[in-house]
Amino acid sequence: MKAFLILEDGTVFTGTSIGSKKEIISEIVFNTSMTGYLEVLTDPSYAGQAVCMTYPLIGNYGICHEDQESLRPWPDGYIVREISRIPSNFRCEDTIQNFLKRYDIPGIAGIDTRALTKILREKGTMNGMITTNADHKLEEVLPKLKGYTTGRVVERVTCEEKKVLKGSGPKVALMDFGAKDNIARSLNQRGCQVTVYPAFTKAEEILKDDPDGIMLSNGPGDPKACTSIIEEIKKLYDSQVPIFAICLGHQLMALATGADTRKMKYGHRGGNHPVKDLETGRVYISSQNHGYMVDTDTLNLQVAVPAFENVNDKTNEGLKYTGKNIFTVQFHPEACPGPQDSGYLFDRFMKMMEVSQ
């Protein structure tokens, strides 16, 4: 069956329908990873977005449920050049086509993803529609696209109740703004007892549980939409508990301490982004997924200083907070599979908790 991808600038791509046949409007973004498509699909940070994979062949090793970053996929839609219908992998448990259908996610295959990516790079991220309706009328569709917003997506992806991963080491409170499973797993593998809290948990409840450290997770959407969460993070900042934050958590901590964030032209999404440690000069290859960034021009340098920088475009990739046991990064040190160069940051967090005890 034919499918159509309509962008808000009026561009229309024609391809083949994959997954669900339902019609969706979403923010269209692209990811440059060559592998890890299942991790991309199950990353809660993609809630409210439709993902274009720039690598031309997707699905060739099938679906391996053990590799999922959450219990279900989160993107509104999926866009690929070619989808493999006969995967080959000894771990394969299903096809990506069946996976998309099971979770009612529509997609489109057979389009020129290079052309789509060029449009998004030149004009910036924009909204789009995936539809199988061959009789669509642009004059009716375009106003709908221009009016779409992702909304309060953190509410959709956070856990419903507190849960605990047992461990014999330090107690870590993990704020779930859309946390990938491997964040909790990375801490648990280091011996931590990890308690995962819903995103809107009050700071008083977390501090009452007397954690040795606090982790602020990744998540979807505009950080400025998380007004009530930012208020609670300010209270956590004022405590003396060590804090490590990733991605959305990094942005929320910056907002809680007086800095500003802004939307990027097309964001960073992929597994090969170089980041420089500004203290040592060493460069690490990182996995990233974000469309917003901390504006370092708005930083109070008595509160926080830049700690990491993107080598490609010089945007901020991390902050170190002055006089506090707090550091935050924009990239994903827990990413798996993918670059694990920055996994040492979890060890740094472990040492921070040891020193503060």
Active-site residue list: 247, 332, 334
* Annotated binding residue 289: yes
* Annotated binding residue 248: yes
Integer Cα distance of 296 and 280 in angstroms: 19
* Annotated binding residue 221: yes
Q: Which residue in this structure is represented by tokens 């997770």?
A: 217
* Annotated binding residue 266: no
* Annotated binding residue 45: yes
* Annotated binding residue 291: yes
Closest CA to 349 of 212, 223, 217: 212
Annotated binding site: 45, 219, 221, 248, 251, 289, 291-292
Annotated binding site for L-glutamine: 45, 219, 221, 248, 251, 289, 291-292
